[in-house]
Amino acid sequence: MGLHVSSTFTEQRSSLEAGKATAAHLKNELGCPPKIVFVYLTVKHNARAFLSGIREVLGEDVRIAGCCTQGVMANGVLREEGYAASLMALGGESLHAATARALEIQTDTARKGTELGRELLDSLGGRTPKVAIVQYDPLSGVDAAVLLRALYEVLQCPIMGGAASHPFGVPVSTTQQYFGGEVTEKSAVVSAFAGDFTAEFETCTGCSPVGVEMVVTKARDNMVLELDGRRALDVWRELTSSAPDAALRPEDTAALAIGVKSPGGSHMIRAAFLLDREAGGFVLQAAIPTGERVMLFHRTVEDVLDGAHRLGATMREKLHGKTPRAALGFECAARTLPFLGADRSLQENVELQRDVAAKIPWVGFTAWGEVCPSADGSPAFHNYTYPLLVLAE
């Protein structure tokens, strides 16, 4: 076995002590020095203290990548409240890992994406990466599609991951990304892996088309300003039955699921991320250009759960003949606590873990925007989606 993996979960409330304890656990279980540690923390944690605890145990040079999140996933766990931390360490002779970070990704996005890719390739010593994982700040205003495209052009490998998040239902604030011992905002942290293993990925949405189609008649960057010639916000209010002068609640942004046709013919689902009353539009994480037709989607619990079951079955088929070693999930935060509720979200994940491969180390977070490859291999930005990555030998 060339790929070593260990994972852990804790609800310990003292951030520094939790960092030390989890790092110690990873170290003991891994059996070799970690090449990278993924860290996902709920926002209650003092991230700097937590990372400090990890580095105290694993060393100052340990690669750390991660972000804050609305909720974390681990074996048998999906926790979206209070103090929660999910970590995974990867190591072993058959794994080569690299991590890089870009700051202020909302500006000069393409160039920074390219630089990220090059830095990663350099760190891998020219090895071809098998998969890359990205965590970024969705509140930076970045057009995720631009970032991902630039990154892909360099790495030429499947890119998965998600946008950092924070608790749902409060005014959007800031999110943090972790890189080594540093905690930053408006950044993107990308990890790339090469070696003797395979990376299998699959995704599901759980959204169904309503049948109502509109045309984006005006857009600016990743803000949709008009739909069918009307102010986008007005259309949004109408569709969500909000009164014209009603306060815009943060949770209302997830009310509208907009499907954009992907090159493969299916729809990529986008959700309004921010509602801009002044501009009269809504912000998406990936731009929909003017003239694009969009379809209104809605979610049902049955669709979401069925989709997760199909995801599990499909992944199992892909893993046939291979030995799964690690699973990383990046479920949309609008699916879980706000939609399915805590119990059903847990049920969904527990069943998925069972369907894919029970008892392999599992880590993940609930994201505000998910990244997974589309049919042609290029990374696509999604909402209301559950991308799943499994590393296997």
Partner 1 sequence: MTAPNLRQVLTHAPSADEAYEMLREKAKLLLLRERELFDLRHARDRTEGWLKAFIDLPPQLDRIDQRALIERWGAIVVGHLGFGLAAAIELSLDGEVRSLMFDPGPAPDVRRVPPNVTSLLTKQQTGTFEKGEPAELAPFATTIGFGQFLWACLPIGEDVRLLVVAGDDPDTARYSEIRTYDRGHFAVLSSHLVAHLTSEALRSEIEDERLELKATNQELDASLSRLRETQDKLVQSTKLLVAASRRAGMSDIATGALHNVGNVLNSINVSADLATERLRKLRLGGITKTTALLREVTDGDSTFAKDTKGAKALAYLEHLATHLESEREALADEMSRLREHLTHVKSVISKQQAYAIGVDMSELCGVDRLVDDAIVLTRESLNRHDIRLIREIDSLPEACLDRHKVLQILINLLSNAKQAVCAMNPPEKWIVVRARAVDEAHFYLEVRDNGTGVRAEDRDRLFTHGFTTKAGGHGFGLHMSALTARELGGLLELIDEATGERGAIFRLTLPFAAATRQGEAP
Residues that bind partner 1 (CB under 8 A): 11, 13-15, 43-44, 46, 81-83, 166-167, 169-171, 173-174, 208-213, 238-241, 251-252, 254-256, 259, 265-267, 295-296, 298-299, 337-339, 341-342
Q: Which residue number, 3 or 235, has a Cβ lying nearer to partner 1?
A: 235
Q: Which residue number, 90 or 308, has a Cβ lying nearer to partner 1?
A: 308
The token duo for 5 is 């993996």
Distance CA 153, CA 158 (A): 11
What values do phi and psi take at 229, rounded to 5? 80, 0
Helix or strand (DSSP H, E) at 350: helix 341-357
What values do phi and psi take at 228, rounded to 5? 50, 40
The token duo for 343 is 């119990």
Q: Which residue number, 156 or 208, has a Cβ lying nearer to partner 1?
A: 208
**Structure letter (DSSP) for residue 253:** G
The token duo for 273 is 């991320």
Q: Which residue number, 291 or 341, has a Cβ lying nearer to partner 1?
A: 341
Q: How far is the CB of 207 from partner 1 (least distance, A)?
A: 10
6 CB-near residues (< 8 Å, 6+ apart): 25, 26, 29, 30, 31, 88, 89, 361
Q: Which residue number, 165 or 353, has a Cβ lying nearer to partner 1?
A: 165
Q: How far is the CB of 166 from partner 1 (least distance, A)?
A: 5
Distance CA 345, CA 336 (A): 5
Q: How far is the CB of 368 from partner 1 (least distance, A)?
A: 13
Distance CA 121, CA 128 (A): 8
Q: How far is the CB of 58 from partner 1 (least distance, A)?
A: 23
Q: Which residue number, 195 or 259, has a Cβ lying nearer to partner 1?
A: 259
Q: How far is the CB of 163 from partner 1 (least distance, A)?
A: 16
Q: Which residue number, 151 or 337, has a Cβ lying nearer to partner 1?
A: 337
Q: Is 320 helix (H, G, I), strand (E, B) or coil?
A: coil
Q: How far is the CB of 304 from partner 1 (least distance, A)?
A: 12
Nearest CA-CA partner of 88 in 315, 357, 389, 393: 389
Q: Is 269 helix (H, G, I), strand (E, B) or coil?
A: strand
CA angle (83 as vertex; 81, 85 as ends), nearest 5: 105
Q: How far is the CB of 297 from partner 1 (least distance, A)?
A: 8
